[in-house]
Amino acid sequence: GYKRSLEYLFYGEHPRLPGELARVMEDGFRPAVEYAPSHLNAAVPLSNSVGLCDLPRLRAAIAAEDSAPLQHGAAPAEPNRKLHAQLIVAKVFLARCAPETGVDESGGRRIPIRREDYEGLSSVYRCVEAEGKQREWFVFEPSLVLPEYLVEIEYLEAGYTPEHEPSSAQLQHLGTGLGGSLVGETLSETEAADVASLTRPLLRFAQQCALASPAEPYDDSCTAALNMPPQLRPRAKVYQIEPSVIAAQARGAPLRELQVLNLHGSAIRTIQGLEDLPALRELVLCFNEIAKLDGLQSLGALERLDLGFNLIKRTDGLGPLPALRELELNNNLIYRVEDVALLRQGAPDISRLNLRSNPVCESKAFRTHVLRSLPQLESLDGIEIKRVEAEAAVRAVEIAHAITPSLLRLHGYAQKRFNYSLRPNTIAEDSSRSCASRTCNDNASMVPWERVEEIDLSHLQLRRLHGLEQLLGLRRASFCNNELSRIEGLEHCALLEELSLEDNRIVRLENLAPLALLCRLDLGKNRIGCIDGLETLTRLTQLSLEDNEITSLAGLAGAHSLMELYIGNNRLEVLNEVQHLKGLMRLIILDLSGNALCVTPDYRSFAVFTLRKLKVLDGVGIEPADMHSAKEKFAGKLTTDVLIERLGHSCWERVLELDLSRSKLRELDALRAHGFCHLRRLNLDSNLLVDLRCLPHLPALTVLSLSHNLVSTRPRSLGPGPALSTAARDAGSHGGLASLASLEVLHLGFNQISDVPALNLESLRQLRVLHLQGNDIARLDGVSQLHELRELNLDRNRIRALDPGSLAGLSLLRELRIEENGLRSLEHISAASNLATLALGSNRISDLAELEKLTECAALQSLALANNPVARRQLYRPSLVRRMLSLHVIDGREISPEERARTEAMYSAEARAAAATQAHFTQAHHMAHHGAASEVRSYAAKVPLKLTSMNFDQLALGGADFGGGSGGACSGLVGPAVASGYRESSGQNLAMAAQQLQRGSLGTSGFEAALRTARRVDSGGVRTGEGQADYSSFREYNQSRRVKTGL
């Protein structure tokens, strides 16, 4: 309808506005009031006549020119400026237009045109001639005038002699540049004469082009400037119709008398607030965002309604509008023919209807359907309706197809058809009761409904499925190429196995739940936009949804029995939609051709990798090479879909912790999104990561776990690791381990790391916990710059010894674990002077002297040396308890106060026993010089003893006789360490017995009992610790006594 108000008019340059044409082409027309000083009228002056537009310029040029007459004949070399002009051809939307009314009848003068004098009008025209063909228009709104072309005109003076035909030389010259390029050779004189009528209009153009300066050629920027769209002043966005908006349109007129309301392009979303406009006759609401027809019931006088270019889908709620005659609904979203019939209820007397550019226009026989629903129409989509066309639509109503018993007899079959050339007889043919036409009388009782297994009702223009209630045995049905808009009427066909609804107008999947046995479903060439309701079809193996409007495959995730899927030529754009089919383990044939996602790089590889059981993709078989290539490209990639599946959302800014363990990941590209700026904990254990450079830049990450991966380092030369280079620091901001500046905890256990400096750990200034257990590290270096490190785990590596600078600089280190490494020495461990926990189990430390190197660790509280040779040494634990007073736990067992007291008592007794033994040896030497042979003879028959280790848990510190626990065999021996268990502590007992023997407090029989006990212990072959030294001293003394006495 708006095209009727569109006109192409001329605009000429007024002498009072020089250069106006160039300004208009650049900036558009001026506001209407600015034309009053030059044109006397406060409006944009336009005309449909070239002469009227250029007449002011011609008059001014003639007045300024000399009185010399114009030259006649051929055009001069320097053309007269007044004979050449330029005009603008503008596209004008006249909208509401009326003739000029302001004429002063007394003086015959025209009153200047002003907007105030023409309230409610967009433009005014003035007829110049009596016939009214030449007109001048005055447009009040400059935004309604769009300059499109700049044309040049040339005037021919009276008596002008036409130019003679161009010579062959001129035509040949022109043909060299134009005609020659067309025929591929130079034109001869004869050929030039033959094409003279074609080339002559181009001669002057070619000459003017030759005169153009080559220094100022047209370029791309000029072309782009000429093609720029006009800058129209945008209208205010009001979003809803309020009284203030209506009052602004009324311009002071009473609202109850307002007849025209134009609110186009105002972003209005709902129709409301029109109750106070009973006299409104025309309402323009085009180019808005209206989705529903509502709020128009009070406009009883409305005659014209423009709702074009909105978002309307349904037409219910329109009326009642008894006076409505013209309705514009073009460029909306109306898709159902049934909605057209609803217009008759709201506007029964509508005569002009515009539904162009709606989806419903693509329906079969759309125009016939509209005329059938609205027989009173006079114009549809701007085309007048002829009587013949209206009568044809009425006849179509009378013969409209419907499913009748006779139709079922004609198209029903009692057995399956294998092809159309050898098809079985229909039910009507078998029963010899065929009908010549559908209009024969139906006799439902004569139809053998129980025998009908297949019906084919294709190409019959059916608009609705009904009348199938008695087909209880139906197994195959075809309704192709009809006008069906819904899936219905199949509730009683529970045995249906194959259903074809191709080429209809169906918009959604519905009412399929009763068809539990359905195996094949064809819904191609419809208007389906969403897939749902397939979960109940547990036997569906083949589905065709080609040529629809589907944008997502999410609704197919529950069709687990599907084996063949044909969904080409839809609106699938995102490659990750294929992920929705990942759960269809039986899918072997897939056709996605014709969708936008098919042009995505690596589309085929991604589909093959995602759908492992697939055999055919887009009609092409999948070879083993395709599967191998897909695995190489996509195996182990972290995608956005995987993250959404894990997290349940895509708001990365809210993610603080992320667990991606055991995901077989090789790449982490999805984590490079800027939204992960708040991620603090990341678990990547048990994956397939090889290189730490794949780590993204995560500025807030504090805990990173990469245990049980394939991380390896290239070996570097031994020695201290070099400082991090400037290039490496710059690269750290883009990714890699060096970019994690906030990292505090790093787990790299059970990888393939052999070179710690290659990890560039020195950039992690905040690192507090580092786990490197289960790797292949042979030398500990590259950690000395981690000054904040508190915990270091190096278990199960190949570290045999520590270098002097290995732990230098780790002044805050509190826990160090180097178990199962083959460590032989404890040298340089004391460099970590603040150690509180030291685990050195399952190494090769064998010498008690190595324990002395730990005495500098004054803060050490827990020490583990289990499964080392030194842990089996005599007095291993007591020596640690005595030497390292800060220890609280040894080998996982806490040191109790009683154990400390026993240790102190034992070492005090040993000191006293050693002093007594030395004095006794001195006295024995003295007795040897005085002939005390009889006393020594009693020891001559004795043999050397081996002493076993002592059990300190069984020692008692109370004073008792030595023989108190063994039947009084040694009744005279007393001391703090011999009350019980002398079998385990025979070395100390023997030393103390020698001491008491010297003091005379123990008789010879008691000392011999101690010797017998030591000899029994010696039969076990155990000789350890300081007890062995005491016994050896006594044995030397006994031997010397034998030598001295000659025994």
| Average pLDDT for 301-323 | 89
Q: How many whole angstroms separate alpha carbon 209 and alpha carbon 193?
A: 23
Q: How many whole angstroms separate alpha carbon 239 and alpha carbon 262?
A: 14
By DSSP bridging, strand 616-617 and strand 589-591 are: parallel
* In the block, residue with structure tokens 């590290």: 777
pLDDT at 213 over 60: no
Among the residue ranges 321-325, 420-424, 732-736, the one predicted with the least confidence is 420-424
Q: Count the neighbouring beta carbons within 10 Å of the beta carbon of residue 533.
A: 16
Sequential DSSP letters for 626-655? HHHHHHHHHTTB--HHHHHHHHSS--GGG-
Give the pLDDT confidence score for residue 198 in this predicted structure.
61
What confidence tens digit (pLDDT) does each residue in 936-966 have? 444 434 444 444 444 444 443 333 333 333 3
Closest by CA to 327, choosing from 307, 309, 341, is: 307
Q: What tokens appear for 467 in the block?
A: 């009348």
Exposure string over 728-752, b if 16+ CB within 10 A, otherwise e: eeeebeebbbbbbbebbbbbbbbbe
pLDDT at 218 over 60: no
What confidence tens digit (pLDDT) does each residue in 606-655 have? 899 889 899 999 999 999 988 888 888 878 788 787 888 788 888 888 89
pLDDT at 424 over 80: no
> What 8-state DSSP symbol labels residue 667?
B
Which band of pLDDT confidence, cut at 50, 70 and 90, is reported for residue 1?
low
Closest by CA to 369, choosing from 344, 394, 333, 402, is: 394
Query: Which is more confident, 279 or 447?
Result: 279
What confidence tens digit (pLDDT) does each residue in 671-705 have? 887 778 889 999 999 998 998 888 888 889 999 99
Which band of pLDDT confidence, cut at 50, 70 and 90, is reported for residue 743?
very high
Sequential DSSP letters for 385-402? PPHHHHHHHHHHHHT---
What confidence tens digit (pLDDT) does each residue in 103-127 have? 655 555 678 888 888 888 889 988 8
Closest by CA to 981, choosing from 1004, 965, 958, is: 965
Q: State the helix-helix crossing angle for 1004-1018 and 986-999, rounded to 10 degrees.
A: 160
pLDDT at 1025 over 60: no
Name residues whose C-beta falls within 8 Å of residue 374's C-beta, 6 or more positions apart in sequence: 340, 341, 343, 344, 350, 353
| Average pLDDT for 362-377 | 82
pLDDT at 935 over 70: no
For all residues of the chain together, what is the average pLDDT? 77
Give the pLDDT confidence score for residue 431 in this predicted structure.
56
Give the pLDDT confidence score for residue 194 in this predicted structure.
64
pLDDT at 142 over 60: yes
Among the residue ranges 433-437, 556-560, 594-598, 924-928, the one predicted with the least confidence is 433-437
By DSSP bridging, strand 893-894 and strand 889-890 are: antiparallel
pLDDT at 3 over 80: no
pLDDT at 331 over 80: yes
Q: What tokens appear for 400 in the block?
A: 């409209």
Q: How many whole angstroms separate alpha carbon 491 and alpha carbon 477?
A: 13
| Average pLDDT for 225-247 | 77
Name residues whose C-beta falls within 8 Å of residue 812's C-beta, 6 or more positions apart in sequence: 787, 788, 789, 790, 834
Q: How many whole angstroms separate alpha carbon 694 and alpha carbon 706?
A: 12
Q: What tokens appear for 756 in the block?
A: 């710690």
Give the pLDDT confidence score for residue 117 in this predicted structure.
85
Q: How far is CA 567 from the centre of its chain?
A: 23
Q: How many whole angstroms separate alpha carbon 702 and alpha carbon 769?
A: 10
Give the pLDDT confidence score for residue 185 in this predicted structure.
58
Most confidently modeled range among 37-41, 425-429, 855-859: 855-859
Which 3 state secondary structure label does DSSP give 621?
strand
pLDDT at 74 over 60: no
What confidence tens digit (pLDDT) does each residue in 708-722 have? 999 998 654 333 333
Give the pLDDT confidence score for residue 463 in this predicted structure.
81
Query: Which is more confident, 774 or 400?
Result: 774
Q: How many whole angstroms separate alpha carbon 785 and alpha carbon 765?
A: 8
To the question of pTM greater than 0.85 for the whole model, the response is no
Q: How many whole angstroms separate alpha carbon 191 and alpha carbon 171?
A: 10
* In the block, residue with structure tokens 């057209």: 340
What is each CA distance from 296 to 274, 358, 571, in whole angstroms?
7, 22, 36
Q: How many whole angstroms separate alpha carbon 699 and alpha carbon 743?
A: 9
pLDDT at 434 over 80: no
For residue 667, the cross-strand partners are 637
Among the residue ranges 330-334, 360-364, 874-878, the one predicted with the least confidence is 360-364
Closest by CA to 560, choosing from 533, 587, 579, is: 587
Q: What tokens appear for 421 in the block?
A: 């050339």
| Average pLDDT for 17-27 | 87
* In the block, residue with structure tokens 């500098």: 856
Give the pLDDT confidence score for residue 466 in this predicted structure.
84
Q: How many whole angstroms separate alpha carbon 117 and alpha carbon 940?
A: 152
Closest by CA to 314, choosing from 284, 287, 285, 345, is: 345
First vs last C-alpha separation in the chain: 145
| Average pLDDT for 390-413 | 72
pLDDT at 420 over 50: no
Q: How many whole angstroms separate alpha carbon 295 and alpha carbon 242?
A: 13
Q: Are 354 and 1 in contact (CB under 8 A)?
A: yes
What confidence tens digit (pLDDT) does each residue in 146-165 have? 999 998 888 877 766 655 55
Closest by CA to 650, choosing from 576, 597, 600, 556, is: 576
23's enclosing H/E stretch is: helix 20-27
Which 3 state secondary structure label does DSSP give 483?
coil
Which band of pLDDT confidence, cut at 50, 70 and 90, is reported for residue 748?
very high
Give the pLDDT confidence score for residue 128 in this predicted structure.
80
pLDDT at 429 over 80: no
pLDDT at 590 over 50: yes
Which band of pLDDT confidence, cut at 50, 70 and 90, is reported for residue 1028?
very low
By DSSP bridging, strand 454-456 and strand 412-413 are: antiparallel
Q: What is the CA radius of gyration of the chain?
A: 54
Q: What tokens appear for 218 in the block?
A: 């047209």
Q: State the helix-helix crossing angle for 986-999 and 897-929, rounded to 10 degrees.
A: 50
What confidence tens digit (pLDDT) does each residue in 644-668 have? 878 888 888 889 999 999 988 888 8
pLDDT at 166 over 70: no
> What 8-state DSSP symbol labels residue 870?
G
Is the link from the previous residue into 405 a cis peptide, with omega within 30 of 0?
no
